Amino acid sequence: MALVISDETLSKAQISANQLRIDLACYLYEKKRLSLGQARSLSGLDQLAFQLELSNRDIYIHYSEDDLEQDLDMLGISE
C-alpha cells in the first residue's frame, strides 16, 4: 500500500515531499519503529547525512551493550 500526499497538502503544510520523508524517517527512528538502516533508506540520504540530520535534531543513535557485544563478537574481540 502506498501513501499518497497531494501537492496541495504539502503546499499548505509548507513542506516539500523530500523534507517530509526525512522528518518521518527521523521520527520513526527516534521512536524505535525503524532501524538506523531502514530509517536512512526511507530518508533518501546517505549514512553520514542521515546521522548528521539526527544529530541536528538531538536524536541519538540507539546503541546498547548488547549491540556492543555483538559488534565485538563479529570482530573476534572478546573480554
Report if residue 2 sits inside a domain: no
CA geometry: angle 26, 45, 73, nearest 5 deg = 75
Report if residue 4 sits inside a domain: no
Report if residue 44 sits inside a domain: yes
The pairs formed by 17-25 with CB atoms below 8 angstroms and a separation of 24 or more are 18/44, 22/53, 25/50
- 38-67, pLDDT tens digit by residue? 999 999 999 999 999 999 999 999 888 888
Is the pLDDT higher at 28 or at 62?
Answer: 28
Could you give the CA distance from residue 37 to residue 40 in angstroms, rounded to a whole number? Answer: 5
pLDDT of residue 78: 67
Report if residue 42 sits inside a domain: yes
Domain count within the chain: 1
> The pTM is what?
0.81
- Give the domain range for residue 17: 9-75
Report if residue 32 sits inside a domain: yes
Alpha helices in 1-79 (DSSP H): 7-13, 17-30, 36-43, 47-56, 65-75
